[in-house]
Amino acid sequence: MKVFVGYDTREDIAYQVCKHSLEVRNKSVQVKALKQNELRDQGWYDRPIDKLASTEFTFTRFLVPELCNFDGWALFCDSDIIFIDDIKNLFDQADEKYAVMCAQHDYTPKEGIKMDGQTQTVYPRKNWSSVVLFNCGHPSNVKLNRSLVNNPDISGAYLHRFSWLEDSEIGELSHEWNWLTDWYEEGKDGSPKALHYTEGGPWFENYRNCAYHSTWKKELQEMMNG
């Protein structure tokens, strides 16, 4: 099971805790950080710096199918997520008829500034691309190559809305695997299997006591204790 985690140099600790949460629950998972500087050095990524991109992995996530040689299944997730269930239970939902699978949130946060200082933007299919199970070998994903991802004329909106696909090629995962901590409520909406700190996580000084902060801090402590 291959998992690519978005990496931002400003949030290394978030990546480390996300990685730990995956590996401690399944020893066979292969976790890879999508580091933009490494992808540039290796010739995978040469898109101009986008001042509107909220993270360093805004676009690099879409390289996953080609990074896997357009073969097999692979998961992408943002780094501000921790998994509290075995990732195998997510991979077991893979359905070959779909090119991608994701939680199809109906998420419309208020516009403004998030806790990490980034602008909170509102757009269709928001957060769908924050946890994506890619069917790398699906014929429709062949066009999702480095040439497309690096094309400055291809917008973030085009990619994040999976516009290279037909809607029928986008499968649905339970939102429990992409539990937006500021949006869903336990009981009413089920129970989380992966916590996504969309507004900002406890690694930010001014968000130390956000929803589910103790869960993340416990994961951090377990990682530090080895």
Q: Residues 31-77: pLDDT tens digits?
A: 999 999 999 999 999 999 877 778 999 999 999 999 999 999 999 99
pLDDT, position 105: 84
- Spatial distance between the Cα atoms of 181 and 14, rounded to a whole number of angstroms: 15
How do strand 73-77 and strand 112-113 relate by DSSP bridges?
unpaired
Q: Let me know if domain 2-224 sits in CATH 3.90.550.10.
A: yes
Task: Please tell me the pTM assigned to this model.
Answer: 0.91
206, exposed or middle or buried, with CB in 10 Å at 0-12, 13-18, 19+? exposed
What type of residue sits at position 51?
A: K
Neighbouring C-alpha atoms within 13 Å toward the C-beta of 85: 14
pLDDT, position 115: 47
Render each residue's pLDDT in the chain as its tens digit; 226 residues: 999 999 999 999 999 999 999 999 999 999 999 999 999 999 999 999 877 778 999 999 999 999 999 999 999 999 999 999 999 999 999 999 999 999 998 876 655 444 445 555 555 677 899 999 999 999 999 999 999 999 999 999 999 999 999 999 999 999 999 999 988 999 999 999 999 999 899 999 989 999 999 999 999 999 999 8
Closest by CA to 97, choosing from 139, 144, 61, is: 139
Token pair, residue 25, equals: 């629950």
Please report which residue ranges of 156-212 form alpha helices under DSSP H. Answer: 156-160
How do strand 2-6 and strand 73-77 relate by DSSP bridges?
parallel
- Domain borders along the chain are 2-224
4 three-state secondary structure: strand
Token pair, residue 158, equals: 């085009």
pLDDT, position 121: 57
pLDDT, position 125: 77
Q: Is residue 126 within 8 Å of 107, Cβ to Cβ?
A: yes
Cα 164 to chain centroid, rounded = 18
132 three-state secondary structure: strand
83 three-state secondary structure: strand
User: What single-letter DSSP state applies at residue 165?
Assistant: S
pLDDT, position 54: 82
Q: Which string of DSSP letters, residue by residue, matches 53-81?
A: -SSTTTTGGGGHHHHTTT-SEEEEE-SSE
Closest by CA to 199, choosing from 220, 213, 185, is: 213
Other residues' Cβ atoms within 10 Å of the Cβ of residue 121:
13
Other residues' Cβ atoms within 10 Å of the Cβ of residue 99:
24
